[in-house]
Structure 1
Amino acid sequence: MGFVSVEEIETRAKEQECQLWEAILHDDMTERQVDRLESIGKMSSMYLAMKDANESYDKDLKSQSGLSGGDGEKMMEEVRKMQNLTGEFVGTVMANALKMGESNACMKRIVAAPTAGACGVLPAVLITYEQFHKVPEAKMLEGMYIAAGVGQVIAERACIAGAQGGCQAEIGSASCMAATAITYIRGGSTKQIFDAGAFALKSLLGLVCDPLGGLVEVPCIKRNVIGSVNAITASDMAMAGIESKVPLDEVIDAMAEVGDLLPCSLKETSQAGLAQTETGKKYMPES
């Protein structure tokens, strides 16, 4: 994709007299030299892969390190008992985010959205919303295009790798993508869509990448939950008419600046933060 700003996506949509998601679709068609059906087919295959990963979750499977496995089912059981404070919808989003993150740690097939470490955020929000609100799959795919376009802009203006920008670049980016996608699906205006993305990313600026033992498990999987719920609250604020004082493109630029300022010890090297706590050191590989 060739977008360098979300403002450009909006401008392109106006020029082409189409919806935001279609402007992103057209760009994909041009870049990959495919027709409309092939582009939509590719997006559909990714969304179906997300749903398959969610449905094939194995609560008895543990990661090789022993750090993760089974928590998605624990959360879902809490929802079934109606004991969680967040209610059925948000509780299910939390459970699905855990499931996807654990599946990644257990080497199962997932969709990096935008990365493997943040793979639980977008599907947890979208799949759960489709399940609860019976939205046609075609509409969900339109939301996927919104997420893809925004993710591409973040990758262009900043980064999506924890090793380059910290966890804000992974969970933050995923949360931003999910917030814009779900706001579009809910019928939000262009401003509301991008304001939701701004809220989501602003809320996670400065999030460091400090995994125990250098593994994408702790605290990564639980941060997928935070990113998912953050996306929902960001969408709710935007849909209520609350406006972001800083445009999304500028928030993305700020994230890039913060990422550059973060020390290498907090960018996936496990040299600081949680990885260097007394407990965290136990999981460091022997030299």
Structure 2
Amino acid sequence: MLTYKSIEELIKCSIKQNKKISQMVLEDQALQMEKSIDEIYDEMEKSFDVMCEAVVQGQAKNQRSTSGLTGGEGFKMKHYSEQTNGGLSGIFMTKAMSRALAVSGCNASMGKIVATPTAGSCGIMPGCLVSLYEDKSIDKRSIVMSLFTGAAFGIVIADRACIAGAQGGCQAECGSAAGMAAAALVELYGGTPQQCADACAIAIGNQLGLVCDPVAGLVEIPCIKRNVSGVMIAFSSADMALAGIQSEIPVDECIDSMGEVGRALPASLKETALGGLASTPTGLKLKEQVFGN
């Protein structure tokens, strides 16, 4: 059985078994949970279906958060992509942005989402994978299988560092999600297990120190837009790894570093809404708008 104590362990086992990380993890989870491989796969497929549904709900023109602070971002970006032929970033990427915004918006309006690995970072994995499924015609089974790779990396991150903004800042949420998504993307495009690790390391390294400063303590501002940044980082990290660009710092060391940075962050920058953007004059006005004096 796998212990999920390091990415290095996953790589070594994958090479030894001559299997993709996803296949190895699927079989291991079936063994550990005493279920059939088909049952474990079906559960993951249902999670992917929820991601697709969250995109649709979040792209509705009238989508608004419960607080009223945000809403319609997914629709606006989708409309912009269609009207400008992709704008500055191109059709594929602006549609991916729209999906990340949509899923995060769905979460803010109390819709059903998949925490990957948290609600605050729930738009990153769908922004990447639903886009490949719908716009690049990658078959569903491959997409679902790649989620096992991302999930395995997430388990390691949670064990070695953390995935909660209250414990490690937004680097622990959006940083982890971008790293997980980058690894999944690399496997989908035929990369090696080591390239999956490099992509994850690059993604995490690019978000070290990212603070968690939710305005009014809600997972909306700036969380929703940070999911878009996480999507961009995931794709660029995956492309670098697939191009043969390595992370000079091994992924497990990057994860350990993220944990160390998280512990060093002051409490005001860890989901308390006492610092960062949450404590700006406008941030405080928005808090008063939602909760009153």
Counterparts of 1:16 and 1:235, CA distance in 2:
24
2:253 matches 1:250: yes
Match of 2:82 in 1: 80
Give 3-state SS (helix, strand or coil) of 2:166's partner: helix
Separation of aligned partners in 2, 1:130 and 1:15: 30
Matched-pair contact (CA < 8 Å) for 2:57–2:102: no
1:236 to 234, 239, 257: 239
Unaligned runs of 5+ in 1: none
2:225 aligned residue: 222
**Out of 270, 273, 290, which is 1:270 matched to?**
273
Q: Which letter does structure 1 place at the counterpart of 2:165? A: G
Of 89, 108, 113, 1:110 maps to 113
Deviation sequence 1:54-113 (CA, Å, 0-9, x none): 123322021122111111111111110226100001111101000011110000111111
Q: Does 1:208 align with 2:211?
A: yes
Shift of 1:17: 3.7
Q: CA RMSD in A?
A: 1.3
The aligned amino acid for 2:179 is C
Query: What residue in structure 2 maps to residue 32 of structure 1?
Result: 33
Is residue 168 of structure 2 the alignment partner of residue 165 of structure 1?
yes
Instruction: Measure the CA separation in 1 of the matches of 2:175 and 2:49.
Output: 23
- 1:43 is paired with a residue of what secondary structure? helix
In the alignment, structure 2 segments of 5+ residues that lack a partner are none
Percent of matched pairs sharing the same residue: 43
Contact 1:92 1:128 in 2 (8 A): yes
CA contact (8 A) 1:208 1:267 kept: yes
Q: Does 1:7 align with 2:13?
A: no
Range with greater deviation from structure 2 (263-272 or 76-85): 76-85
Post-superposition offset of 1:226: 0.2
Deviation at 1:24, TM superposition (A): 1.1
Residue 259 of structure 1 pairs with residue 274 of structure 2: no
Query: Aligned partners of 1:255, 1:59: CA distance in 2, in Å?
Result: 37
Q: Report the TM-score when normalising by structure 2.
A: 0.95
Given that 1:43 and 1:144 are in contact with CA atoms closer than 8 Å, whether structure 2 keeps it comes out as: yes
Q: Distance in 2 between matches of 1:272 and 1:18?
A: 46
Tell me how far apart the structure 2 counterparts of residues 243 and 83 of structure 1 sit (CA, whole Å).
30
- 1:198 has 2:201 as partner: yes
The match for 2:186 is 183
Q: For residue 271 of structure 1, report the CA deviation from its aligned partner.
A: 0.6
Range 34-43 or range 161-170, more displaced: 34-43
Q: Which moved more, 1:81-90 or 1:246-255?
A: 81-90
Q: Residue by residue, what CA displacement relative to the aligned partner does 1:161-219 show, whole Å, maximum 9, x if unpaired?
A: 00000000000000001100011101111221111111111000100000000000000
Preserved contact between residue 2 and residue 27 of structure 1 (Cα < 8 Å): no
Contact conserved, 1:166 with 1:266, CA < 8 A, in 2? yes
CA distance in 1, matches of 2:116, 2:61: 22
Report if aligned partners of 1:104, 1:116 keep a CA contact under 8 Å in 2. yes
